[in-house]
Structure 1
Amino acid sequence: MKITGIETRIVNAEMRNWVFVQEEMVGAVPWYFDVVRGPIRMVDGFWQVPDAPGLGVEVDEAECARHPFAPEVLHTQNAVLTTARS
């Protein structure tokens, strides 16, 4: 479960000249809203920073335990891997 997406939106919202596009993971798995509860909202194309303590959302740790981390395999056979500098 990537909670870092929530943290990244909060940091990005505070950077006045932030122009990098942030991908969105909300709903990437069917159980997302069982694990994360809170006001994750976009209004007029902008993420609203939650004003609750901490990350501003509740994380159900018992529900997290039902969905253990499973690393994804990066298939590189016949793939072109580059960096922004290439």
Structure 2
Amino acid sequence: MNIVKFTLLILAIYLASLGIALIVKHETKIFPFLHVFILSLIIFSALFIIFIVFLAIFYAIKKKPEIEYGNYSIDRIKGKEE
């Protein structure tokens, strides 16, 4: 799984949990601690997404692409050239 799919998956999970928390808060109105829970969820998800972005940037800078040199002509690939 590449880093973009992983980040989108984590973001979708956090948005779904935030939506569920907002629905519970709106429907029950007896859980005042949900305000703190929602705020902590938002802060944690923002920090986690920033961490993932920095991790992706660091990984892209650190890992250099490997270049393979050789004869890669179309005729050789198709098998026409000997």
| Structure with more of its chain in helix, by fraction | 2
| Structure with more of its chain in strand, by fraction | 1
**Common fold by TM > 0.5:** no
Larger radius of gyration: 2
TM-score by length of 1: 0.28
TM-score by length of 2: 0.29
